[in-house]
Amino acid sequence: MQTTSQPAQHGGRAGRPWGVVALLALLTAGYVAVYGVQQLINGLQLGAIYALIAVGYTMVYGVVKMINFAHGDVYMVGAYVAFGVTAAAAAGQITPGQALLLFGVGMVAAMAGCALLGALIERTAYRPLRNQPRLAALTTAIGVSLLLENLMQIIAGPNPRPFPGLIPLRQLDLAGIVINIRFGVAFLIALVMMAGLQYLVMRTRVGKAMRAVAFDLDAARLMGIDVNRVIAAVFMLGSALAAAAGVLVGVTYARIDPFMGIIPGLKAFVAAVLGGIGNIPGAMVGGLLMGMAEVGVASVRSELTGAVAFLILIVVLLFKPTGLLGERVYDKV
Amino acid sequence: MSELAPATTAGPLRATPWPVVLGRWLLQLAVIVGIYELLVAWMGGNRYLQVVLTQAGIYVILAVSLNLILGYTGQLSIGHAGFMAVGGYAAAILTKFFGVPFALALLAGAAAAGVAGLLVGVPSLRLRGDYLAIATLGFGEIISVLLSLIDEVPVGSRVIDIGGAQGLIGIPRHTTFAWTYVAAVLAIKVVWHFVHSTHGRACIAIREDEVAAEAMGIPATRYKVLSFTLSAMLAGVAGGLYAHQYLYLNPAVAGFMNSVFILVIVVIGGMGSTTGAVAAAIFFTYTNDALPNWMQALHLPASINPPAVRMVLFSLLLILVMLLRPRGLLGGVELTWAQLARAGRLLTGGGRRPGVAKGGAA
Amino acid sequence: MDLQREPAPTGSRLAAGSGPLEAEALPVVLECREVTIRFGGLVALSDFNLTLRQGELVGLIGPNGAGKTTVFNLITGIYRPTSGEIRLFHRPITGLRPHRITQLGVARTFQNIRLFGNMTVLDNVRTAFHARTRTGVLPAILRTRGFHAEEQAVTRRALELLETLRLSHRAEELARNLPYGEQRRLEIARALATGPRILLLDEPAAGMNPSESRELRDLIEEVHRRFGLTTLLIEHHMDVVMSVCERVVVLDYGRTIAAGTPDEIRRNPAVIAAYLGEEAG
């Protein structure tokens, strides 16, 4: 999609994916050389979380061409829903089996709840503004974001809450690499979800409809696709994945607060832009890269991670606005 | 046709006779001074009211300047608070450490903010829509982070401490209501004169259709940068006034929340309406401060903290206004002599229908 | 100094037309040489050649998608050619920004009307005078006498243009509220305000009924004559094109398939074939 104000430049390059793959391989190799394999693993684990959130941003942008500022807060709500469902039950002594069960319940509740929340937000706050100037939708999204944060602050209190440790706190040592079980499980779950998403988008009818709407909304409508339903589905899907990320973060970091969605939301957004906004595999790759970058920077000076995210964003926007896997689209004048 | 008279940048269609021009000028002056006197009288010795009104004046400048780049030129610049902070810090450093006179410090703050505007604007303004929004937001945050990282700066033989994350304290008190009022009036005037000129038309054309504007000979990038820089400079003045009112600056001033506050004022007030921006700025700063008092009167449970409730109401209002009037409450509507004249004619029951120049066909 | 080329055998590249002998003495104002543009894999225009001489009124026709508006976008700098060269008054303008090219004397209207909708009719025209104004930003803010004088001059000339285009009664209306035909006239008024020497009209008669398009045809002729312009006209209304243009260039799939006088074009079998299935007006 159009990111710069110049209409129509020419040149679409074939065979680009290989260049990107090579670049990524090079980056990874360089990263390991500088930081070591342990940091790479840490970075990938964190990156998987970002990827789950980033995918939601990118899907929504793909279909309605808007940046859903409230997405990070849906992630937060997911964490709180799981918290609300499991905290009481987990308070006493429970077996690891029960804990895992609770984890599953919490996950399902969070994903379902946020899917509904996402659909609700889309229906009430975004759909009426679909044909209005971009700023109106952007401002409304900011409003929804603020609303979610502050409502949660009123409901659950402004202080961080401890999230129940539903996954055992243990470490595995594989040939010198330390893997925290919680992070490892989170990573695997995230991978499975992303694989599932990729399958859904590329191999099912619903996914095909989503891709059609992302490509050309009006044409999709003319082809008989119920555009409103598809958009709602996209929001629900993205929100569910963000909620999952929220639950995973709650379990791994053991604390949640009403404003926990702001910074990760921003970083995930940068990840989506980095990968090429509108491009789902791009968001996944972007997320992993952001995770790696953050771990690398944090080992030097941890306050800088936010600024580094913004820096990456600006560098991408200025030099390659379409991101790593994005494509140039031409503007008809 | 019940539409409000269109905002037009038309000066008089026929040369206005000079007595009328002089008369209008004097009338404007009288109104400006009059309002000032009224406000001062209202304030009495009430410190609190004075603070609120001064704050309102500062945000009028911020709203009016953001409206220039956002409402008139149509560029989604949402990191405006960053320029406010740059101007504020620059002015404060000059007065606190170097004893520079207030007026000069304000101008220096404006210049510094202008430079920041150029640095941000030149690369960013090639981007479109949402991307520009995110980039400017990003720059605002980067300014905030930079400010929080810098504490001691060697200048010549001295080392000055600007506080880093703790913030800059001990800023001398210079801001008074008078200063703020004059600055606000000047800011409004500057923006108004800019907009109602060929340059303003160029900017509005860019907002309406950048491709067509270029086709009509308007160098779009140049005007976007110009509008951006001018807007940043005014924000810098507001920042200087802010610093010398609260005597303390911290990097959060440059951050997202402050930018959003200014953005919301402009968006709700009405994009492309200076009148709307002024009205909304006054309304929001007033209610922002007055709300905790009202809430106390309602005897809400102590656990619900006022800032959260204020934000919930604020965000609901924001969403509501966007859904009902996406262009803002006074979007595109301005208070001009022509409109006042029309209103006058309407009230006195004679004259032409509004919105038609020469009694022509509808 | 003749820059025309000989027609190639299979009609793949044709001369951009040769008018009556006297025309060759007139100075060349615009040339396109072997201009080609590609969008990804799509070749929108291929080896396009055109020579416009002072004062000509040339038509550019062809089925939809033939590349006509692409030619305009290339000339006005919105697109950059993949290869080839464009010269304005003998000066290469490839790569110049659109506003610069307008300042050099080329103005255009848009196929899908692109007015400044939320501005008044008068302001739309006054905006187009911008490139011809001299007052800087500071004088404008300070409201100097020079500023006022220039504003009034611009307003006066804008009103004159509106008068010529019969839009004076609409001066204070918002452009987006105008009826369609008047919007098209406003597009032309706005283009004229930039003070061009070359005018590119992109389907000015689109959507008009026969009587409206006759009026428009007269308007085009009048404007062409009164302002001493060189005009390039894209149109689908054949009655307008044939009656008003001295010569016509025909595009199909990005290539020139014919060029010549209206009569020659009307009888050209390649042109008729290209339009088969389309209303030839």
- Chain-chain contact of A142 with B322 (C-beta, under 8 angstroms): no
**Rounded to two decimals, what is the model's pTM?**
0.85
Confidence grade of residue A7 (pLDDT, cut at 50, 70, 90) = very low
DSSP for B196-264 reads TSHHHHHHHHHHH-HHHHHHTT--HHHHHHHHHHHHHHHHHHHHHHHHHHHS-B-GGGGSHHHHHHHHH
What DSSP element (H or E) covers B77?
Answer: none
Task: Give strand ranges (E) for chain B.
Answer: 152-155, 158-161
Range of weakest confidence among A132-141, B54-63, C181-190, C215-224: A132-141
Only one residue has tokens 């090639």, namely B126
Nearest to C88 by CA among C249, C197, C2: C197
Residue B53 and residue B59 in contact, taking contact as beta carbons nearer than 8 Å: no
Between CA A198 and CA A192 the distance in angstroms is 10
Dump pLDDT digits (tens) for B187-229.
999 999 999 999 999 999 999 999 999 999 999 999 999 999 9
Nearest to C196 by CA among B220, B219, B217, B204: B217
Per-residue pLDDT at B12 exceeds 60: no
Between CA A168 and CA A184 the distance in angstroms is 11
Strands C57-61 and C247-252 come out as parallel
Nearest to B250 by CA among B318, B337, B169: B169
For chain B, the chains sharing at least 3 beta-carbon pairs closer than 8 angstroms are A, C
Per-residue pLDDT at C231 exceeds 80: yes
Question: Hey, is the C-beta of A8 within 8 angstroms of any chain B C-beta?
Answer: no
DSSP for A64-128 reads H----TTHHHHHHHHHHHHHHHHHHHHHS---HHHHHHHHHHHHHHHHHHHHHHHHHHIIIIIGG
Confidence grade of residue A210 (pLDDT, cut at 50, 70, 90) = very high
Min distance C276 CA to chain B CA atoms (Å): 34
- Chain-chain contact of C69 with A7 (C-beta, under 8 angstroms): no
Residue type for C66, please? A
Range of weakest confidence among A323-332, B51-60, B178-187, B210-219: A323-332
Between CA B120 and CA B113 the distance in angstroms is 10
Between CA C105 and CA C113 the distance in angstroms is 21
Between CA A119 and CA A243 the distance in angstroms is 13
Question: Hey, is the C-beta of A120 within 8 angstroms of any chain B C-beta?
Answer: no
Range of weakest confidence among B12-16, B21-25, B319-323, C50-54: B12-16
pLDDT of residue B362: 30
Range of weakest confidence among A54-58, A163-167, B230-234, C192-196: A163-167
Helices H / strands E in chain A, number of each: 12, 4
Confidence grade of residue A290 (pLDDT, cut at 50, 70, 90) = very high
Between CA C151 and CA B278 the distance in angstroms is 27
Between CA B83 and CA B228 the distance in angstroms is 10
Confidence grade of residue B16 (pLDDT, cut at 50, 70, 90) = low
Residue type for C69, please? T
- Chain-chain contact of B202 with C130 (C-beta, under 8 angstroms): yes
Strands C230-234 and C198-202 come out as parallel
Between CA B10 and CA A329 the distance in angstroms is 39
Residue A54's CB: how many other CB atoms inside 10 A?
Answer: 37
- Looking at the partner chain, which of A8, A11, A12 has a beta carbon nearest the beta carbon of C79? A8
Three-class SS state of C111: coil
Question: Hey, is the C-beta of A28 within 8 angstroms of any chain B C-beta?
Answer: no
Only one residue has tokens 């990070």, namely A72
Min distance A89 CA to chain B CA atoms (Å): 25
Mutate to test the interface with B, among C69, C79, C96, C99 (most CBs of B within 10 A): C99
Residues 124-153 of C with CB under 8 A from A: none
What DSSP element (H or E) covers C143?
Answer: none
What DSSP element (H or E) covers C256?
Answer: strand C255-260
Name every residue whose Cβ is closer than 8 Å to that of residue B265 and which is 6 or more positions away in sequence: B59, B62, B63, B66, B277, B280, B281, B284
Confidence grade of residue A288 (pLDDT, cut at 50, 70, 90) = very high
Burial tier of B318 (Cβ tally within 10 Å: 0-12, 13-18, 19+):
buried
The nearest alpha carbon in chain B to A128 belongs to B323
- Looking at the partner chain, which of C38, C73, C110 has a beta carbon nearest the beta carbon of A10? C38
Residue A81 and residue A165 in contact, taking contact as beta carbons nearer than 8 Å: no
What DSSP element (H or E) covers C129?
Answer: none
Task: Give strand ranges (E) for chain A.
Answer: 161-162, 171-174, 177-180, 255-256
Paired tokens of A33: 């050389």
Chain B positions in Cβ-Cβ contact with residue C115 (cut-off 8 Å): 208-209, 212
pLDDT of residue C194: 96
Residue A280 and residue A195 in contact, taking contact as beta carbons nearer than 8 Å: no
Nearest to A79 by CA among A54, A114, A44, A116: A114
> What ipTM is given for this predicted complex?
0.86
The values of phi and psi at residue C254, to 5°, are 80, 0
- Chain-chain contact of B216 with C128 (C-beta, under 8 angstroms): yes
- Chain-chain contact of A307 with B131 (C-beta, under 8 angstroms): no
Once rounded to an integer, what is the mean pLDDT over residues B303-331?
A: 81
Give the CA count within 13 Å in the CB-facing half-sphere of B335.
Answer: 7
- Looking at the partner chain, which of B6, B15, B360 has a beta carbon nearest the beta carbon of C169? B360
- Chain-chain contact of C39 with A10 (C-beta, under 8 angstroms): yes
- Chain-chain contact of A9 with C80 (C-beta, under 8 angstroms): yes
Between CA B77 and CA B79 the distance in angstroms is 6
- Chain-chain contact of A134 with B129 (C-beta, under 8 angstroms): yes
Residue A59 and residue A213 in contact, taking contact as beta carbons nearer than 8 Å: no
What proportions of chain B, in percent to the nearest 5, are helix, strand and coil?
Answer: 70, 5, 25
